[in-house]
Amino acid sequence: MIAEGFTITVVQQGTYLENGKEYSHEWKERRFIVLSPEYARKQQEQLEKRIEKTEIKLRQLVKRRRGYQYPQSMQELEEKVSHLLASTKCEAYLKVDITAETTSKQTRKYKNRPAKEEKRMIFHLHITRQEENLAKKKQVMGWRAYATNAPPEKLSLSKAVDVYRDAYLHEHGYSRLKGKPLSLTPMYLHKDEQITGLIRLLSLALRVLTLIEFVVRTRLAETDCYLKGIYAGNRNRKTKTPRTETLLEVFKGIILTIIHISDKEWIHLKPLTITQKRILQLLGMSENVYTSLVPNFSKLLFNSAN
């Protein structure tokens, strides 16, 4: 099951000005209240991990270790606990009780130093989970609210869920355009035609990135295969949904060497790896796309030298 939910229809009213006169407008707004079980599960897992990490950090507060200043008073420890719970947003889910214990240690007399009794404060934390608050929080996780003025015959609840699930695909494109590798912002251009030209050029590049990703993922899905060897940190990692940026990283380090001695020329092109050949195959390209660079580069170099 992808999702479940219900619909609420609410009558909305608004006003607008036209030719100095105020008009009112009324329409029906349909609100979809939708629960995604998978989204709820992920949110609950994230909450559990955050609470577990907070518990570990809390216990570290009363653990003596090198480079850490042990709390000198109950008030100091309480402030540290409160700050940690607030920074991790776990105040409602964890209750911390602090107890103090005083220990004493007798030191012997040494030369001119007299014998004395050293007292040291030891703190203990008793951490309990607020299960009732946790249950209430988990109960509302995974819910989303959508709003539309489209009538039921044009947009049903199930259709609205499908449309929204595809929304991230468009957002991903804009994220690429504004971030790496296209980097539309910031722009240091002052003429409108330059700005327009740059946006059009980067829009073409965005289409190329999107097309490469679509073709590779489609071929992998059709053959029910994985692609591995594209992640530098883990060559054995497999994926059916590689990103174009990751695929292009595989082709980094390609070297074309051209040596001229007198009237002779030696050319060496670094051979393709198995992974690089596999990517070209998924894109429907032959190795000639790569190996044909040798004569082309040679001709270009010769012409520019003349």
Q: What are phi and psi of 222, to 5 degrees?
A: -65, -35
- Residue 58 in contact with residue 127, Cβ under 8 Å? yes
What is the per-residue pLDDT for 303?
A: 43
Whole-structure pTM over 0.75, yes or no? no
What is the per-residue pLDDT for 27?
A: 87
What is the per-residue pLDDT for 302?
A: 43
What is the per-residue pLDDT for 138?
A: 94
What is the per-residue pLDDT for 141?
A: 95
What is the per-residue pLDDT for 67?
A: 86
**d(C-alpha 155, C-alpha 240), whole Å:** 32
Angle between helices 192-223 and 167-178 (to 10 degrees): 130
What is the per-residue pLDDT for 112?
A: 79
**d(C-alpha 134, C-alpha 164), whole Å:** 29
Q: What is the pLDDT along the chain (306 residues), one digit of tens a residue?
A: 889 999 999 998 888 888 888 888 888 899 999 999 999 999 999 999 999 999 999 999 999 888 888 898 899 999 999 999 999 999 999 999 999 988 877 777 777 777 777 778 899 999 999 999 999 999 999 999 989 989 899 999 988 888 877 666 777 888 888 887 788 877 777 888 988 999 899 999 999 999 999 999 999 999 999 999 999 888 889 999 999 999 999 998 888 888 888 888 888 888 889 999 999 999 999 888 888 877 655 554 444 443
**What is the token pair recorded at 1?**
């099951």
**What is the token pair recorded at 249?**
């990283």
What is the per-residue pLDDT for 254?
A: 85
State how beta strands 238-239 and 227-228 pair.
antiparallel
21 DSSP β-pair partners: 18
With the C-alpha atoms ordered 178, 184, 188, 192, is the resulting torsion angle positive or negative?
A: negative
**d(C-alpha 203, C-alpha 196), whole Å:** 10
What is the per-residue pLDDT for 185?
A: 75
- Residue 216 in contact with residue 282, Cβ under 8 Å? yes
Q: Spell out the long-range contacts of 67-76 with Cβ–Cβ below 8 A and sequence spacing 24 or more.
A: 71/123, 72/121, 73/121, 74/98, 74/100, 74/123
